[in-house]
Amino acid sequence: MSIRYSFWARTYYQELRARGKAHNAAVRTLAFKFDNNDADEMSRADRLHETLLTYVETVSGDKHIYERLALDKALQAQFDNVIEVAGRSSSDLVNVFYKIHPEKVQALGASAIAALANKAYTIAAQRGSSWVVAGPLFAGLMFTLGHGCLADPQFPWVAKTLINTESTDAIGILKQLFRKFYIFLNQSKSNIEGS
């Protein structure tokens, strides 16, 4: 463990020194703590891995059947249908997502999906009054790609579309985002079918 490169190790070392421990004693204490933390962190990583595998199995289904069905349903959505949902309650969005991917909603819980929908509506409202209609699309992106997807480097097309400096037309930007999301979903379906 290097106090030069690890923030927590450096902080812990500095705390030990501030409490009066000599350099060598602080390094030994840090080494002992790291050995114990390493085992704890490995156990935690193992538990997280098992939880993730169970979640993926539950949500995807055997041979990705649940994912395929959800993608088929999601690909039937039209931009106007998504925008029409704007202004409805978060529980209405939970119901929409349940119709698309019931296994995922059941695995995560309706309250978590409602919180995600509320977050999406909040993010949309923060962009300005003309963006309020973006709530359902943002929620759909977050439900599919993860709650941080609007700025996730794994999905650069989302952020790049949202920071479009060539247009101030929220609906135009949202249509572009919807088209790119549709392409992503279609590609995902092709990838699953090819596996």
Structural domain contains residue 1: no
Q: Are 83 and 174 in contact (CB under 8 A)?
A: yes
**Same-domain status, 71 and 164:** yes
**Same-domain status, 23 and 104:** no
| Identity of residue 42 | M
> Would you tell me how many other CB atoms lie within 10 Å of the CB of residue 143?
25
Residue pLDDT, tens place only, 67-111: 999 999 999 999 998 988 888 889 999 999 999 999 999 999 999
Total number of domains constituting the chain: 2
Structural domain contains residue 108: yes
Structural domain contains residue 2: no
- Looking at every residue in the chain, the average pLDDT score rounds to 89
pLDDT at site 37: 57
Phi and psi torsions of 43, nearest 5° = -65, -40
Q: What is the pTM of this model?
A: 0.76
Structural domain contains residue 129: yes
**Same-domain status, 168 and 117:** yes
Nearest in space to 142 (alpha carbons), one of 164, 118, 163, 161 = 118
Residue pLDDT, tens place only, 111-136: 999 999 999 999 999 998 899 999 99
- Where in the sequence is the domain holding 111, given as residue range(s)? 62-194
State the number of CA atoms in the 13 A half-sphere of 21 facing the CB: 15
Structural domain contains residue 49: yes
- The yes-or-no verdict on residue 6 having pLDDT over 80 is no
**Same-domain status, 47 and 94:** no
**Same-domain status, 132 and 38:** no
